[in-house]
Protein backbone atom coordinates (compact mmCIF):
# COMPACT_ATOMS: atom_id res chain seq x y z
CA UNK A 1 0.00 0.00 0.00
CA UNK A 2 1.35 3.43 -0.83
CA UNK A 3 0.39 6.82 0.46
CA UNK A 4 -1.82 7.57 -2.56
CA UNK A 5 -4.07 4.64 -1.68
CA UNK A 6 -4.43 5.93 1.89
CA UNK A 7 -4.99 9.46 0.69
CA UNK A 8 -7.70 8.19 -1.67
CA UNK A 9 -9.71 6.94 1.31
CA UNK A 10 -9.02 10.13 3.24
CA UNK A 11 -11.57 12.15 1.31
CA UNK A 12 -14.28 9.59 2.12
CA UNK A 13 -14.01 10.42 5.82
CA UNK A 14 -16.29 13.03 7.37
CA UNK A 15 -14.62 16.39 8.05
CA UNK A 16 -14.25 15.80 11.80
CA UNK A 17 -12.56 12.45 11.18
CA UNK A 18 -10.22 14.11 8.71
CA UNK A 19 -9.20 16.58 11.38
CA UNK A 20 -8.61 13.80 13.91
CA UNK A 21 -6.49 11.86 11.45
CA UNK A 22 -4.48 14.94 10.56
CA UNK A 23 -3.87 15.62 14.25
CA UNK A 24 -2.79 12.01 14.83
CA UNK A 25 -0.36 12.09 11.90
CA UNK A 26 0.99 15.44 13.02
CA UNK A 27 1.57 14.15 16.57
CA UNK A 28 3.40 11.11 15.20
CA UNK A 29 5.60 13.05 12.80
CA UNK A 30 6.27 16.02 15.05
CA UNK A 31 6.02 14.86 18.63
CA UNK A 32 5.26 17.73 20.93
CA UNK A 33 8.38 19.46 22.18
CA UNK A 34 8.86 18.52 25.80
CA UNK A 35 10.71 21.76 26.41
CA UNK A 36 7.71 23.48 27.90
CA UNK A 37 7.39 20.66 30.42
CA UNK A 38 11.03 20.90 31.40
CA UNK A 39 10.59 24.64 31.85
CA UNK A 40 7.45 24.13 33.86
CA UNK A 41 9.10 21.67 36.22
CA UNK A 42 12.00 24.08 36.63
CA UNK A 43 9.63 26.87 37.53
CA UNK A 44 7.69 24.71 39.94
CA UNK A 45 10.91 23.77 41.70
CA UNK A 46 12.00 27.40 41.93
CA UNK A 47 8.72 28.57 43.39
CA UNK A 48 8.11 25.67 45.75
CA UNK A 49 11.58 25.48 47.14
CA UNK A 50 12.59 29.12 46.87
CA UNK A 51 13.57 29.16 50.52
CA UNK A 52 15.54 25.93 50.26
CA UNK A 53 14.54 22.37 49.59
CA UNK A 54 12.45 20.73 52.26
CA UNK A 55 10.61 17.46 52.69
CA UNK A 56 7.02 17.84 51.52
CA UNK A 57 5.89 15.29 54.10
CA UNK A 58 7.49 16.44 57.32
CA UNK A 59 9.21 19.72 56.47
CA UNK A 60 12.69 18.50 57.33
CA UNK A 61 15.57 20.02 55.42
CA UNK A 62 17.66 16.92 55.98
CA UNK A 63 17.22 15.53 52.50
CA UNK A 64 19.33 14.20 49.67
CA UNK A 65 18.95 13.52 45.98
CA UNK A 66 17.75 10.04 45.22
CA UNK A 67 18.06 9.36 41.50
CA UNK A 68 15.70 10.25 38.75
CA UNK A 69 12.47 8.77 37.59
CA UNK A 70 11.00 9.67 34.22
CA UNK A 71 13.42 12.58 34.03
CA UNK A 72 12.18 14.00 37.31
CA UNK A 73 14.65 14.43 40.12
CA UNK A 74 13.69 12.44 43.20
CA UNK A 75 14.62 13.26 46.78
CA UNK A 76 14.61 11.23 49.94
CA UNK A 77 14.07 12.58 53.43
CA UNK A 78 16.57 11.34 55.99
CA UNK A 79 14.18 12.04 58.83
CA UNK A 80 10.91 10.46 57.76
CA UNK A 81 12.36 8.17 55.12
CA UNK A 82 9.77 9.14 52.54
CA UNK A 83 10.70 10.20 49.07
CA UNK A 84 9.25 12.86 46.82
CA UNK A 85 9.96 14.71 43.59
CA UNK A 86 9.53 18.25 42.36
CA UNK A 87 5.86 17.71 41.73
CA UNK A 88 4.81 15.57 44.68
CA UNK A 89 1.80 17.02 46.45
CA UNK A 90 1.30 19.57 43.70
CA UNK A 91 -1.78 19.42 41.47
CA UNK A 92 0.11 17.79 38.65
CA UNK A 93 1.75 15.07 40.72
CA UNK A 94 0.93 11.61 39.49
CA UNK A 95 -0.55 12.83 36.27
CA UNK A 96 0.18 10.83 33.17
CA UNK A 97 -0.13 13.82 30.89
CA UNK A 98 1.88 16.74 32.27
CA UNK A 99 2.02 18.41 28.85
CA UNK A 100 -1.76 18.50 28.68
CA UNK A 101 -1.94 20.56 31.85
CA UNK A 102 -0.55 23.67 30.17
CA UNK A 103 -3.25 23.54 27.53
CA UNK A 104 -5.79 22.70 30.17
CA UNK A 105 -4.94 25.82 32.19
CA UNK A 106 -5.19 27.96 29.09
CA UNK A 107 -8.58 26.60 28.13
CA UNK A 108 -9.88 26.81 31.67
CA UNK A 109 -8.89 30.47 31.82
CA UNK A 110 -10.55 31.03 28.44
CA UNK A 111 -13.74 29.55 29.82
CA UNK A 112 -13.91 26.54 27.53
CA UNK A 113 -16.46 23.98 28.75
CA UNK A 114 -15.32 20.72 30.29
CA UNK A 115 -16.68 18.45 27.54
CA UNK A 116 -14.91 20.62 24.94
CA UNK A 117 -11.66 20.53 26.88
CA UNK A 118 -11.94 16.77 27.29
CA UNK A 119 -12.50 16.35 23.58
CA UNK A 120 -9.61 18.62 22.59
CA UNK A 121 -7.11 17.06 24.98
CA UNK A 122 -8.40 13.53 24.45
CA UNK A 123 -8.98 12.94 28.12
CA UNK A 124 -12.10 11.66 29.83
CA UNK A 125 -14.64 14.23 31.00
CA UNK A 126 -14.27 12.95 34.55
CA UNK A 127 -10.51 13.54 34.29
CA UNK A 128 -11.19 17.09 33.14
CA UNK A 129 -13.55 17.53 36.06
CA UNK A 130 -11.01 16.13 38.51
CA UNK A 131 -8.24 18.38 37.19
CA UNK A 132 -10.38 21.45 37.54
CA UNK A 133 -10.94 20.65 41.20
CA UNK A 134 -7.25 20.07 41.74
CA UNK A 135 -6.53 23.48 40.24
CA UNK A 136 -9.21 25.24 42.26
CA UNK A 137 -8.05 23.62 45.49
CA UNK A 138 -4.48 24.62 44.72
CA UNK A 139 -5.49 28.22 44.01
CA UNK A 140 -7.37 28.37 47.27
CA UNK A 141 -4.49 26.88 49.24
CA UNK A 142 -2.02 29.53 48.08
CA UNK A 143 -4.29 32.23 49.38
CA UNK A 144 -5.74 33.78 46.27
CA UNK A 145 -8.71 34.60 48.44
CA UNK A 146 -7.18 37.34 50.53
CA UNK A 147 -8.51 40.86 50.30
CA UNK A 148 -6.56 44.09 50.56
CA UNK A 149 -7.37 47.72 51.22
CA UNK A 150 -10.97 48.84 51.58
CA UNK A 151 -13.25 45.86 52.04
CA UNK A 152 -17.00 45.77 51.90
CA UNK A 153 -18.90 42.77 53.06
CA UNK A 154 -22.39 41.51 53.55
CA UNK A 155 -24.00 38.28 54.54
CA UNK A 156 -26.74 36.21 53.04
CA UNK A 157 -28.65 33.18 54.22
CA UNK A 158 -29.60 29.93 52.55
CA UNK A 159 -31.73 27.16 53.90
CA UNK A 160 -29.51 24.20 54.60
CA UNK A 161 -29.57 21.82 51.67
CA UNK A 162 -28.84 18.12 51.84
CA UNK A 163 -29.58 17.54 48.21
CA UNK A 164 -27.74 14.45 47.05
CA UNK A 165 -27.51 12.90 50.48
CA UNK A 166 -29.11 9.48 50.77
CA UNK A 167 -30.73 10.24 54.06
CA UNK A 168 -31.24 13.28 56.20
CA UNK A 169 -30.96 12.32 59.84
CA UNK A 170 -30.84 15.49 61.90
CA UNK A 171 -34.15 16.94 60.71
CA UNK A 172 -37.19 16.09 58.64
CA UNK A 173 -36.44 16.17 54.94
CA UNK A 174 -38.02 18.98 52.95
CA UNK A 175 -39.55 18.54 49.54
CA UNK A 176 -38.23 20.71 46.68
CA UNK A 177 -36.96 23.89 48.37
CA UNK A 178 -39.58 24.00 51.07
CA UNK A 179 -39.71 26.52 53.84
CA UNK A 180 -37.98 26.86 57.15
CA UNK A 181 -39.93 25.76 60.20
CA UNK A 182 -39.12 28.94 62.07
CA UNK A 183 -39.63 32.47 60.86
CA UNK A 184 -36.68 34.74 60.30
CA UNK A 185 -33.12 33.65 60.71
CA UNK A 186 -32.59 30.48 62.68
CA UNK A 187 -30.20 27.59 62.89
CA UNK A 188 -31.96 26.11 59.88
CA UNK A 189 -30.15 28.62 57.72
CA UNK A 190 -26.56 28.52 56.59
CA UNK A 191 -24.99 31.94 56.62
CA UNK A 192 -22.59 32.95 53.92
CA UNK A 193 -20.35 35.98 54.13
CA UNK A 194 -19.47 37.68 50.88
CA UNK A 195 -16.76 40.32 50.78
CA UNK A 196 -14.88 42.18 48.10
CA UNK A 197 -12.13 44.73 47.99
CA UNK A 198 -11.51 47.67 45.66
CA UNK A 199 -9.41 45.50 43.36
CA UNK A 200 -12.40 43.36 42.57
CA UNK A 201 -11.25 40.31 44.53
CA UNK A 202 -14.28 38.48 45.81
CA UNK A 203 -14.34 36.10 48.72
CA UNK A 204 -17.27 34.05 49.89
CA UNK A 205 -17.24 31.71 52.83
CA UNK A 206 -19.71 29.72 54.86
CA UNK A 207 -19.77 31.38 58.27
CA UNK A 208 -21.89 28.81 60.04
CA UNK A 209 -25.50 28.38 61.04
CA UNK A 210 -27.93 31.06 62.05
CA UNK A 211 -27.27 34.74 62.68
CA UNK A 212 -23.71 35.84 62.01
CA UNK A 213 -21.67 36.99 64.97
CA UNK A 214 -18.91 39.56 64.88
CA UNK A 215 -16.26 36.87 64.87
Contact residues toward Zn ion (CB under 5 A) are 55, 57-58, 60, 77, 79-80
**Nearest residue (CB) to Zn ion, 88 versus 201:** 88
Nearer to Zn ion, 87 or 123 (CB): 87
CB of 84 to Zn ion, least distance (A): 8
Q: Which is nearer to Zn ion, 76 or 114 (CB)?
A: 76
Closest alpha carbon to 75 in 100, 105, 49, 98: 49
* CB 73 to Zn ion: min, Å: 16
Closest CB to Zn ion among residues 54, 112: 54
**In the complex, what is the shortest distance from the CB of residue 75 to Zn ion, in angstroms, rounded to a whole number?**
9
Cβ distance to Zn ion smaller for residue 48 or 174:
48
- Taking the complex as a whole, how short is the minimal distance between the CB of residue 50 and Zn ion, in angstroms? 19
Q: How far is the CB of 46 from Zn ion (least distance, A)?
A: 21
Amino acid sequence: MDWKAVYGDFSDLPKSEQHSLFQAIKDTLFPEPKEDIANMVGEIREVRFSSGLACVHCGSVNIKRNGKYRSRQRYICKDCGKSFNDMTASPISGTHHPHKWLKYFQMMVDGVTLPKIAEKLEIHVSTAFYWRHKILIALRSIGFSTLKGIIESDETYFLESNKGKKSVTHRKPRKRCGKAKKRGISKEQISVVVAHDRNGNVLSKVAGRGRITAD
